[in-house]
Structure 1
C-alpha cells in the first residue's frame, strides 16, 4: 500500500484499516461467506467528512448563512465530487473486489469510488484522529475550496443564466450536446448553451448534465454577456416584425410602429 499511502500523504500505523477501507462488498458476496468490507468505515467516513468540511466552510465563509453553507457542503461531498477525488488518487486500482464486479467496470464505477473515498477517510480517522483527517481534507480539497471562496454563490449556473435571460426576453435558453466520447463507464461530453441563434458558452463534463452546467458557467463568466443578450434580443425582435412597406405590398393589416 506504499503507493497509495504516498498519494494520501499519510502512513497507517494499522495497515489493516486501510485494507478494510478498500475491500468492496462483492468479495464476501462472491465467496458466500462473511467478509469484512468497507461499509462500516464508509458510514464513519461520511460523518467525518461532513464535520471536517462543515468546519472549513464555516471558517472560510463567515458571511454565508446556514442554507448557503449546507448547499456548498452538499456540492463538495456529493458522490460525483468524491468519485472525482478518488480518481485523482487512482483509488480504483487499489480496490479489492470480486471478479464479477471488476469485470463489470467496478473499479471505475462512481458509487464504488465515492464509497471507498468515505471509507478511507473513516480509516484515516481511526488511525490518526481528527487532525490527520483535517490535514488530508485541506490538501485534497484545496482547489475546490478555493473555487468556492472565489465564487461561493455559483451553485446553480443554469438557473442564474435563466434569470438573466428572462430579464431580456421570454424565450428560454437551450442546451445542445456537441460531442460524446469514451467508453460507457467513462464518458466525456461537450455541450453548448444557445439563445436566439447565438452560442453563449461551451463546457465539458463526465455527464450531459455536468457539461451543460459547465456551458452555463462559461456563459456567466463572459464579461460582455449582458450586452450579448441584449443584442441577440434586439435582433430577434427586429426579425419578427413585419415592415410597414411589406405589409402594404401584401395587403396585411399593418401593426402600428
Structure 2
C-alpha cells in the first residue's frame, strides 16, 4: 500500500506531508525518523484514551479506568490496529529490517501508529489527533466489557471454555524472528472443539500468546457457542 492509500484509510489529509513520511520512517532507514513523533504520539494517545474512558464510563473507578486504558494502549492492541490498516506496507525500513520482516514486527507497527498520531497532532492540532484516535478505536470502544477489566485474554478464554466444560486451548510457537535482543514471536491458539485457530505476534512468547488468545476469545464469544 502507498502512503497515499494509508492516508485515505486513516481519514486525514496532511497539510505537511513530510510529517507523515517521517512518522513512517524507521530509525534503520534514516536519521530523520519517527522516534520523537512516537514519543509525542504515545502521550497524546494515553490522554485521549483516558478522556474517552472517563466520558464513556462515569461509574468506573480510577483503578478500573487505568486497567482499561492499559489494555487499549498496549503494544498488542496498537499493532493489531496497524495491521488492520496494512500500515507495514507503507513503512520506510532499512535493509536489515527489510530482511528480518520488520514491517510486520508488533513493536515497529505500534511505534509507527503512535508516530502517526503525533504527526497528526503537529499538523492539525489536538482536535484532529483526537478525531483520528476515536476513528481508529471505534470498534474497540464498542467491544469493551467492563466486567472483564483486569483480566488478561488468556484468563478470559480459559474461564469461558471451562464454563462450558471444553478443553483448554493449545498454544504453539510457529516462528521466532529477529536478533536475540529484538525478537518477534508468532504463536497459534488452537481450540479443536470449536474449530478455532488464531494467530498472535509479540516481542515475547507471552505477549504473542495473549494476542492469539484475545482473537480466539472474540471469535468464541461472537458465535461459536450460543
Give the structure-1-normalised TM-score: 0.68
Sort the Cα spacing of 1:189 and 1:161 in 2 relative to 1 into closer, same or farther, 3 A: closer
Q: Provide the secondary structure at the position in 2 that maps to 1:191.
A: strand
Give the whole-Å Cα distance in 1 for the aligned partners of 2:97 and 2:159.
Answer: 44
Aligned to 2:211: 210
Give the whole-Å Cα distance in 2 for the aligned partners of 1:166 and 1:93.
Answer: 40
Aligned to 1:54: 50
1:75-90 correspondence runs (5 A): 75-90=71-86
Aligned to 2:19: 17
Aligned to 2:128: 132
CA deviations 1:110-162 (Å, max 9, x no partner) are 111000001000000000011101111111110101111xx122232554677
In the TM superposition, what is the alpha-carbon distance from 1:26 to its structure 2 partner? 0.4
Give the whole-Å Cα distance in 2 for the aligned partners of 1:201 and 1:45.
Answer: 39
Q: Is the 8 A contact 1:108 1:186 kept in 2?
A: no
Larger gyration radius, structure 1 or structure 2: 1
The count of residues paired between Structure 1 and Structure 2 equals 209
Aligned to 1:120: 116
Equivalent in 41, 45, 57 of residue 41 of structure 2: 45
Aligned to 2:4: 2
Aligned to 1:103: 99
Q: Provide the secondary structure at the position in 2 that maps to 1:204.
A: strand
Give RMSD over aligned pairs: 3.5
Aligned to 2:141: 145
Q: Which runs of 5+ in 1 are unaligned?
A: 29-34, 168-172, 194-198, 226-257
Which structure has more relative contact order (CA 8 Å, sep 6+)? It is: 2
Q: Is the 8 A contact 2:161 2:168 kept in 1?
A: no
Give the whole-Å Cα distance in 2 for the aligned partners of 1:97 and 1:180.
Answer: 26
Q: Is the 8 A contact 2:169 2:189 kept in 1?
A: no
Aligned to 2:188: 189
Q: Is the 8 A contact 1:41 1:120 kept in 2?
A: yes
Q: Which runs of 5+ in 2 are unaligned?
A: 178-183, 201-207
Q: Is the 8 A contact 1:161 1:220 kept in 2?
A: no
CA deviations 1:25-68 (Å, max 9, x no partner) are 0024xxxxxx2111000000000000111111110011111111
Aligned to 1:244: none
